[in-house]
Chain A
Amino acid sequence: AQSVTQLGSHVSVSEGALVLLRCNYSSSVPPYLFWYVQYPNQGLQLLLKYTSAATLVKGINGFEAEFKKSETSFHLTKPSAHMSDAAEYFCAVSGGYQKVTFGTGTKLQVIP
């Protein structure tokens, strides 16, 4: 079975500061990992995904994530936070052929 754990349900950063959202995974098979973002009253938008091609994955809106097998981690980073980054971020892992298993989410607050 696959699962992900997101550390920190709420993260606050100042505008212009580094964003770091943590995700650790557990998987009995090589995992495929995703980060989704959910803006208020909207659906889930794919930020980026890891599919074993490269350990450093670049996504939309300046986000990237690094797959570290030794640490079973897939943390999401952005060098400089923008006010528009305020949203909820979900780490997810594909389980079986079709099911995507989500973490509990991290709400990012950006302070001006």
Chain B
Amino acid sequence: EPEVTQTPSHQVTQMGQEVILRCVPISNHLYFYWYRQILGQKVEFLVSFYNNEISEKSEIFDDQFSVERPDGSNFTLKIRSTKLEDSAMYFCASSEDVGYTDTQYFGPGTRLTVL
């Protein structure tokens, strides 16, 4: 069964450094998402992406964050200058279509630790 994959599974970085989290969505999916889950808290929406553009973003997704689909298979989340509070599990998701009923399939996550 096709699945969303994410690399790395765990990333440790120093505060102020840039990190890039990578995702490979399911191949025929057109819509891509990033969510994060701070330890002990709920999963929070960050951003959605379609047709090489951000289509929706949350208030969390400030200028420090950016997303890109650099080629036909990868979808990346970049954090320009990491802060301690960026430590979280980051989930990528993809869906075939958009709309209330379409299912988002989630990857296993990247645990980001900012020291």
Asked if A82 is at the interface of the complex by the 8 Å CB criterion, the answer is: no
Per the bound structure, the CA–CA distance linking A103 and B43 in Å amounts to 8
Interface size on B, residues (CB 8 A): 27
B41 at the interface (CB under 8 A from A): yes
Q: Which residues of A contact B31 (CB under 8 A)?
A: 98
Partner of A101, one of B45, B98, B106, B108: B45
Say whether B99 faces chain A, with CB atoms less than 8 Å apart: yes
Question: For window 27-58 of chain B, which residues contact chain A by CB distance below 8 Å?
Answer: 31, 33, 35, 41-45, 48, 55-56, 58
Docked complex Cα distance between A99 and B102 (Å)? 11
Q: Is B103 an interface residue (CB 8 A)?
A: yes
Q: Which of B6, B58, B98 has the most CB of A within 10 A?
A: B98
Give A30 Cβ to nearest chain B Cβ, in Å: 8
Number of chain A interface residues as a range: 20 to 34
Q: Is A112 an interface residue (CB 8 A)?
A: no
- CB < 8 Å: which of B33, B42, B56, B93 contacts A96? B56
Annotate A74-110 by CB proximity to B: 1 below 8 A, 0 otherwise: 0000000000000000101010111111111100000
Is A56 an interface residue when CB atoms closer than 8 A count as contact? Answer: no
Q: Are A97 and B103 in contact (CB under 8 A)?
A: no
CB < 8 Å neighbour of A43 from B33, B48, B100, B107:
B107
Q: Which of B4, B42, B100 contacts A97 (CB 8 A)?
A: B100
- By a CB distance below 8 angstroms, the chain B residues around A104 are 41-42
Taking CB atoms, residues of chain A closer than 8 Å to B55 are: 97-98
Q: Could you give 21 example pairs across A and B, Cβ below 8 Å?
A: A32-B100, A36-B106, A42-B108, A42-B109, A43-B4, A43-B91, A44-B43, A44-B93, A46-B103, A49-B103, A51-B100, A94-B100, A94-B101, A96-B56, A98-B48, A98-B55, A99-B58, A100-B33, A100-B45, A102-B35, A104-B42
Apart from A43-B108, A99-B58, A102-B35, list 16 A-B contacts with CB within 8 A. A32-B100, A36-B106, A43-B91, A46-B105, A49-B103, A51-B100, A90-B42, A92-B43, A94-B101, A96-B56, A97-B98, A98-B33, A98-B48, A99-B45, A102-B43, A105-B42
